[in-house]
Chains A and B, each alone.
Chain A
Amino acid sequence: MSLYPAFARPRDLGQAADIMGGLSTGAMIIAGGQEVMPSVNYGALMPEVYIDVGQISALKGIAEEDDGIHIGSSTVHRDVQDSEVIQSKIPLLSYAAAQIGGGMQVHNRGTIGGNIVSMHPLYDILPSLLALGAEFDVLRGDGETRVALADLMRDASHGLGSESLLVRIHLKPMTPGAGWSYEKLKITAGGYGSANAAAIVTLDGDKITSLRVVVGAVSALPIDISDALGGCRGQAWSDHLAEEIEEKASAEISEPLSDHQGDGDWRRAMAGVMARRAVEAAVEKAG
């Protein structure tokens, strides 16, 4: 807590690593500030030091390399939405980024990295990234390590935001012909989601050959329910399957959120409805 915070603006990753390494607690990385500034203004957050990573060019931009697609952590939502590479190779992500609320300001300033690191249960990016099997490069001390999102979510000591820096996101292009969908249940036009689901499906004829489904906004973190839905493989879309997906998805939510968006029973049920709708839409698109 400090009334008179210091402000650091590293120019490259090396400087950033030095600054983070040289500070004790109380440092806070700031990118677009769409998460940090509301909390500061509200009085809930008073960091000692702000580390503004907005000037580090290595954190910006979207590139297609041999090993997949890289998205710099400081890439803003608008660029994720508009990128041709992402639209054609990972359409699920550009679509999910477009479902973010908050209007133009948030889309133009909020970054994908800030969204990820916030790990906010109601946000729109993590479910798709989890379904897509995203990996991250994380800078800590002076070494970068590659870590899968699924592992990062289990690691409470990742230190992202104060001691370590999210550098870039790695994604594989989606399988050509895969169907996908991101369903977001919002109770008003402006509200955050109350439940959501991302789905990626491949078909052989009308039979499901693979499916990845993640449900979000219903528990503290998004939940990958692909394994629970493993039995769907080999089946064609039917009312029966729809019911099965809905039931199984709901059953996976053992500790539903209960907040202003809605109580736990409803959230659990909505996880099922969103999963069903997402898979149905993905199946329709596949092929």
Chain B
Amino acid sequence: MGEQKSETEGYVGQSVRTIEGRAPVMGKATYTNDINFPGQLHAHILRSPHAAANIQSIDTSGAEKVAGVVRVVTGAQAAEHIDPIPHYIDPAVFGGRSASIRCLALDHVWCFGQPVAVVVAEDKRTARYAASRIVVDYEVTTPVIDSEDALKDDAPMVVPGWDANMIMQVPFGGGDVAQAFSSADRVIKTDVKVHRFSTQPIETRTYNGVYDAGTDSVTLYGTVQNPHPLRNVLSKILRMPENKIRVHAPVIGGAFGMKMHGHPEEGLVCFLSKLIGQPVKWVEDREECLLIGAREQVHSVELAVTKDGTILGLKDHYLANTGAPSSCPGWGMAFLTGLTMPGPYAVTNLDVQLSAVVTNKPGWNASRGYGKEVTALALELSVDNAARELGIDPVDMRMRNFIKKDQFPYDSPTGLIYDSGDYAGVMQKALDAIGYDEWKVKQEKAREEGRYLGIGVGFELTPEGGTLPGTFVAGYDSSTVRVAPDGSVRVLTGVTTPGSGNPTGIAQIVADELGVRLNTIEVVQGDTTTCPYGFGNSSGRSTIVGGGSAAKAAIEVREKIIKVAAALMEVDEESVSMKDGIIASGDKTIDLEEVCYACYTRAYDVGSVIEPPLEATAMFKPGLVRHTPNEKGQINPYPSYSNAAYVAISEVDVNTGEVKLLKFSVAHDCGNVINPILVEGQACGAIMFGIGAAMAENITFDENGRQLTKNFMDYVMPRIGDVPSIDLSHHDSPNPVNYKGLKGAGEAGVGGSAAAIVNSVNNALTPFGVMMTETPLTAPRVWSAIQAAKKAQPQRKVA
């Protein structure tokens, strides 16, 4: 890795290349599946082909006869040794219904794909083949697929013993909603339906459980975003103390929330390894990866507005189809959607209510945006619809309603405290970047030629760095900075990376705070035995808290080095500076290595001014979070509120319904930027997600609840050819309470960009009167909407 910074400035703020990015690009990174141990065994999981059924009996004898099979385990057998999987976010903690989740189903399955039995064999193919010889006698029952059906009086119960198919119902809001709605000029209702789509990392989930009989301990090598919290979960499942468990996460090939834990396979491989006494690996295939859902929500947004577009009040009682219960933190996404209402808009009269419904679809896991992307979709589609109804420009409507930049910190009606922002400024930057007014002219011209261009905007407020009381969704984190006798630096941190580049950001911070060169720093993450306790990767937190804590530790170590350097040079401490690994006082300089060596080896003379070793551990806990409920019982789980505006230009082929994106711009505010290319990479990635969300990625089921989406032929993710050129600008209003004013940059953008695309398509089709508020806008759907509009208004002469 080359040194790429300019001479005068520090590393922070510079686009340095990632220190860890080279190996994956060269094919040299070691992923979980690259790791094998002597005696390595492989597991294949037999999954339920039914959405709802009672298991009458399981006959494993056929599988056991296959040569190479080591062990076959059913749910009932497993339950003798292991306990249910603790919830990442237990609904019971928040007053909801909580189900007991096992690694393998006991006597009842509640979704397609639920693990029923597992085969361990000498190789993967044998395990898979043998699994096909297990005979399960199912008594199939009627499933509930749809969230509205799930709430009907006569609906079958997804979870035996529950009295309603509901995790919880949560109201958000305040103000005088009735007054707002009665005094409004108009109430405009928009039904926004967001479909089920997920995230699809190229590296699917993989776990390798390795039991060591000598120490009676188990190590899990795995695709894990949050190693320390998972260790606690494993200890409960395996009935072992945490000090007998190690979780190690090697390089991860994309996570996006999907590798947050609660998955049955994590505990299962550890248990199997212990049972058999040999390492057991399980690698998720693509079909299994597609079983993990997210985001399927039905919103009914009502905006009470004045003629000029001022929003007086907002109502939205929405349903989330969270599928069958899961121990993963997915269901919490639905909660966050409501909590983040009304997003960037200064609306105080708010009546939002979540119904988190369970159905017989597979459950959710966290997915980039964590529900906040759905807030953006629901809001932004509704605002566009209202703007159209009122006959005003959608941008004007937003500008009129944005929270003003002098209103921060801002108390939202749901209890959040927005740290800082300049939403109108961000929006304006995105518009200027793309040339909003020029596109309007082009659109007019194109229409005359029978071409349909659309211009759409979207805004997303993305609270980041979240922390929920009583869960492992924690706000703080810790890092250790160690400087060796040779002056090289190791940063061990509790945050992990899903491949987003945060180790480089953290190293840049440490290089500046410590005063060393970037290429002397090594960042170690993802191991419960070597790293300080931490909460891993989620919620755009890694650079905020990993960087913040590493900076504090670096400052402590620097002080020690300076003290000894001063002693060695026989000068005043105050006169000593340290930058880029060079220690100076006046004309005198001394090598960093010489000082570090002295720190370790001369503890009784010059080194006695400090306590060796050159090491410090520090914690960073952002401010602004309020876990003590206010008078309305609300908390603020977030310290920072990144935000961004998106503008999409699209062209619709009205004969086929195809949507082509012509241009995209984004302006975003993630506080100060540590490394522009890292931030831009994340922003572009989120736009790719947004394109997939808006146009193609869709997980579908048949009427019996069997999943139809099985591979990348069915689940169509955007290709690079679908992506237009993206104009990206930064508009930073630093977070006043975070280290370096950081706000988090990894998560934001899925909903804002998807909304901009949907709005652009509707904008293109204004001459037809088309307004689509159900995603995804696939070509067939767009075409049908045009057909329907043509039928409804045959007199309108278009196309």
Chain A residues at the B interface, C-beta cutoff of 8 Å: 1, 3, 42-43, 46, 185, 187-192, 194, 260, 262-263, 265-266, 269-270, 273
| B129 contacts chain A at the CB level, 8 A cutoff | yes
| B128 contacts chain A at the CB level, 8 A cutoff | yes
**Per a CB cutoff under 8 Å, which of A46, A187, A269, A273 touches B778?**
A187
Enumerate chain A residues within 8 angstroms of B605, measured Cβ to Cβ.
Answer: none
Contact A262 B126 (CB under 8 A): no
Q: B272-287 CB contact bits vs A (8 Å, 1 = yes)? A: 0000000000000101
Cα–Cα, bound, A42→B780 (Å): 29
Q: A187-B696, A260-B700, A260-B716 given as contacts; is B129 within 8 A of A46 (CB)?
A: yes
Enumerate chain B residues within 8 angstroms of A42, measured Cβ to Cβ.
Answer: 285, 287, 711
**Per a CB cutoff under 8 Å, which of B128, B719, B779, B783 touches A43?**
B128
| B720 contacts chain A at the CB level, 8 A cutoff | yes
Contact A260 B714 (CB under 8 A): yes
Q: A46-B129, A185-B658 given as contacts; is B721 within 8 A of A190 (CB)?
A: yes
Contact A187 B716 (CB under 8 A): yes
B711 nearest in chain A by CB position: A42
A189 nearest in chain B by CB position: B721
**Per a CB cutoff under 8 Å, which of A185, A188, A189, A263 touches B656?**
A185
Q: A265-B784, A270-B656, A273-B655 given as contacts; is B711 within 8 A of A187 (CB)?
A: no
| B713 contacts chain A at the CB level, 8 A cutoff | yes
Enumerate chain A residues within 8 angstroms of B722, measured Cβ to Cβ.
Answer: 188-190
A-B contact pairs, 13 of them (CB 8 A): A3-B66, A187-B658, A188-B696, A188-B718, A189-B721, A189-B722, A190-B716, A190-B722, A192-B713, A262-B778, A262-B780, A266-B779, A266-B784
* Chain A nearest CB, measured from B505 CB (Å): 32
Interface of B is mostly: loop
Contact A262 B779 (CB under 8 A): yes
Which of B126, B658, B695, B711 has the most chain A CB atoms closer than 10 A to its own CB? B658
Cα–Cα, bound, A260→B656 (Å): 16
Which of A1, A260, A270 has the most chain B CB atoms closer than 10 A to its own CB? A260
| 14 further A-B pairs in the complex, CB-CB below 8 A; given A3-B125, A188-B695, A188-B722 | A3-B129, A43-B128, A185-B779, A187-B716, A187-B778, A188-B717, A188-B718, A189-B718, A260-B714, A262-B778, A262-B779, A262-B780, A263-B780, A266-B779
| B708 contacts chain A at the CB level, 8 A cutoff | yes
Contact A260 B721 (CB under 8 A): no
A41 nearest in chain B by CB position: B285
Which of A46, A188, A270, A273 has the most chain B CB atoms closer than 10 A to its own CB? A188
Q: A188-B718, A266-B784 given as contacts; is B129 within 8 A of A194 (CB)?
A: no
* Chain B nearest CB, measured from A158 CB (Å): 25
Enumerate chain A residues within 8 angstroms of B657, measured Cβ to Cβ.
Answer: 266
Cα–Cα, bound, A190→B717 (Å): 8
Enumerate chain B residues within 8 angstroms of A188, measured Cβ to Cβ.
Answer: 695-696, 716-719, 722
Contact A189 B129 (CB under 8 A): no
Cα–Cα, bound, A79→B378 (Å): 50
Contact B783 A266 (CB under 8 A): yes
| B709 contacts chain A at the CB level, 8 A cutoff | yes
A38 nearest in chain B by CB position: B711
Q: Which 6 A-B pairs have the closest CB atoms?
A: A189-B721, A190-B719, A266-B780, A262-B780, A189-B719, A260-B714
Contact A260 B713 (CB under 8 A): yes
Cα–Cα, bound, A191→B719 (Å): 9
Enumerate chain A residues within 8 angstroms of B125, measured Cβ to Cβ.
Answer: 3
Enumerate chain B residues within 8 angstroms of A269, measured Cβ to Cβ.
Answer: 783
Cα–Cα, bound, A42→B658 (Å): 31
Enumerate chain B residues within 8 angstroms of A46, measured Cβ to Cβ.
Answer: 129
Q: B679-717 CB contact bits vs A (8 Å, 1 = yes)? A: 000000000000000011010100000001101011011
Enumerate chain B residues within 8 angstroms of A3, measured Cβ to Cβ.
Answer: 66, 125-126, 129
Enumerate chain A residues within 8 angstroms of B656, measured Cβ to Cβ.
Answer: 185, 270, 273
Contact B720 A189 (CB under 8 A): yes
Cα–Cα, bound, A185→B783 (Å): 13
Q: B741-784 CB contact bits vs A (8 Å, 1 = yes)? A: 00000000000000000000000000000000000001110011
A267 nearest in chain B by CB position: B780
Cα–Cα, bound, A194→B713 (Å): 12
Q: B119-137 CB contact bits vs A (8 Å, 1 = yes)? A: 0000001101100000000
Cα–Cα, bound, A194→B721 (Å): 17
Cα–Cα, bound, A270→B658 (Å): 11
Cα–Cα, bound, A28→B602 (Å): 74
Cα–Cα, bound, A3→B695 (Å): 40
Contact A194 B783 (CB under 8 A): no
Which of B126, B655, B708, B720 has the most chain A CB atoms closer than 10 A to its own CB? B655
* Chain B nearest CB, measured from A4 CB (Å): 9
Enumerate chain B residues within 8 angstroms of A263, measured Cβ to Cβ.
Answer: 780
* Chain A nearest CB, measured from B731 CB (Å): 31
Cα–Cα, bound, A160→B655 (Å): 38
Q: B654-677 CB contact bits vs A (8 Å, 1 = yes)? A: 011110000000000000000000
Cα–Cα, bound, A130→B252 (Å): 48
Enumerate chain B residues within 8 angstroms of A273, measured Cβ to Cβ.
Answer: 655-656
Contact B716 A194 (CB under 8 A): no
A265 nearest in chain B by CB position: B784
* Chain B nearest CB, measured from A275 CB (Å): 12
A46 nearest in chain B by CB position: B129
Enumerate chain A residues within 8 angstroms of B126, measured Cβ to Cβ.
Answer: 3
Enumerate chain A residues within 8 angstroms of B720, measured Cβ to Cβ.
Answer: 189
Cα–Cα, bound, A207→B445 (Å): 34
Cα–Cα, bound, A189→B718 (Å): 7
Enumerate chain B residues within 8 angstroms of A266, measured Cβ to Cβ.
Answer: 657, 779-780, 783-784
Cα–Cα, bound, A46→B128 (Å): 11
Enumerate chain B residues within 8 angstroms of A191, measured Cβ to Cβ.
Answer: 696, 716
Cα–Cα, bound, A1→B698 (Å): 32
Contact A187 B714 (CB under 8 A): no
Cα–Cα, bound, A194→B720 (Å): 19
Enumerate chain A residues within 8 angstroms of B780, measured Cβ to Cβ.
Answer: 262-263, 265-266
* Chain A nearest CB, measured from B693 CB (Å): 13
Cα–Cα, bound, A151→B713 (Å): 30
A263 nearest in chain B by CB position: B780
Enumerate chain B residues within 8 angstroms of A1, measured Cβ to Cβ.
Answer: 129
Cα–Cα, bound, A188→B697 (Å): 11
* Chain B nearest CB, measured from A130 CB (Å): 23
Cα–Cα, bound, A194→B783 (Å): 13
Cα–Cα, bound, A119→B39 (Å): 44
B131 nearest in chain A by CB position: A43
Enumerate chain A residues within 8 angstroms of B779, measured Cβ to Cβ.
Answer: 185, 187, 194, 262, 266
Enumerate chain A residues within 8 angstroms of B287, measured Cβ to Cβ.
Answer: 42
* Chain B nearest CB, measured from A262 CB (Å): 4
* Chain B nearest CB, measured from A260 CB (Å): 4
Cα–Cα, bound, A265→B285 (Å): 33
A273 nearest in chain B by CB position: B655
**Per a CB cutoff under 8 Å, which of B129, B709, B783, B784 touches A260?**
B709
B722 nearest in chain A by CB position: A189
Q: B93-118 CB contact bits vs A (8 Å, 1 = yes)? A: 00000000000000000000000000
Which residues of chain B from 634 to 669 have any CB-CB distance to chain A below 8 Å in the complex? 655-658
* Chain B nearest CB, measured from A172 CB (Å): 33
* Chain B nearest CB, measured from A55 CB (Å): 26
Cα–Cα, bound, A191→B658 (Å): 13
* Chain B nearest CB, measured from A43 CB (Å): 5
Enumerate chain B residues within 8 angstroms of A265, measured Cβ to Cβ.
Answer: 780, 784
B723 nearest in chain A by CB position: A189
Enumerate chain B residues within 8 angstroms of A185, measured Cβ to Cβ.
Answer: 656, 658, 779
Which of B125, B129, B656, B708 has the most chain A CB atoms closer than 10 A to its own CB? B656
Cα–Cα, bound, A192→B722 (Å): 14
Enumerate chain A residues within 8 angstroms of B696, measured Cβ to Cβ.
Answer: 187-188, 191
* Chain A nearest CB, measured from B88 CB (Å): 31
Which residues of chain B from 324 to 372 have any CB-CB distance to chain A below 8 Å in the complex? none
Enumerate chain A residues within 8 angstroms of B129, measured Cβ to Cβ.
Answer: 1, 3, 46
Cα–Cα, bound, A1→B778 (Å): 38
* Chain B nearest CB, measured from A123 CB (Å): 12
Cα–Cα, bound, A266→B656 (Å): 8
